[in-house]
Homo-oligomer: A and B are copies of this chain.
Amino acid sequence: VFCYAYPHPAVTTDIALFTLRENRLHVLLLRRALAPFSGVWALPGGFVRSDEDLDSCAKRKLAAKTGITGVYLEQLYTFGAPQRDPRERVISVAYYALTPCTALVPRPGQTESDLAWVALTELPVLAFDHGAIVQVAQQRLAAKIQYSTLAFQFLPAQFTLSELQQVYEAILGASLDKRNFRKTLLVLGQLEPIIGLRRTGHHRPAQLYRAKQRDAVAIIK
């Protein structure tokens, strides 16, 4: 056991991992197998180890519970209400993460019975204060997409301008003018056309583009 001269809280990271499916924003949830909140949906997350920093903990927990790695991850806010966990004092450093929906086959970890993408419009009641975390994350997302290249993180390496526009529309919850959208984004200088077309449906194929810097999120404006 580990003993201290005065009470110490437990510290966790919880991660709201977002993706877009069918043009709707989804968040990854786990159904808890263990008490407290057994059977209730919750964000992936877990306790911070004594030798790892907070970002590493968030990455590790995401990988352990879902097998997902290499996604964009950013610290969101720290939630520390005294009674947010019924077991003991637990302070949660919340993160949010973004990933394209492609090639994402969530696999449950050992302590959870179920793992699912859930549309934000159909969010169930969540364990702990995870509902508040998702809400804050969604606000941050909608704000930050407007002054950064965050949106690219929802798409695979190659994408069309229409697909990119759909990302913006889903996150902002509004429809955008096609010509203005394309002009604005091309002027940014963060996109470049690549040789290749996307052929889908009974219509003209679309030019493919790629983000000039796929890994970093640039601040624009």
Contacts and interface: CB of A to CB of B under 8 A. Distances in A.
A53 B77 contact: no
Interface residues of A, number: 27
Interface in A79-105: 80-82, 89, 91, 93
Contacts of A48: 9, 80, 91
Contact of A4 (B5, B8, B78, B91): B8
A53 B75 contact: no
Contact of A77 (B47, B75, B81, B89): B75
Contacts of A53: 80-82
Contact of A80 (B3, B8, B47, B93): B93
The A interface, classified by DSSP as helix, strand, loop or mixed, is loop
Contacts of A170: none
Interface string A34-51: 000000000000011011
A188 interface: no
Interface of A: 1-11, 47-48, 50-54, 75, 77-78, 80-82, 89, 91, 93
16 contacts: A1-B4, A1-B5, A2-B5, A3-B3, A7-B50, A8-B11, A9-B11, A48-B91, A50-B82, A50-B89, A52-B82, A53-B82, A54-B78, A75-B77, A78-B78, A91-B91
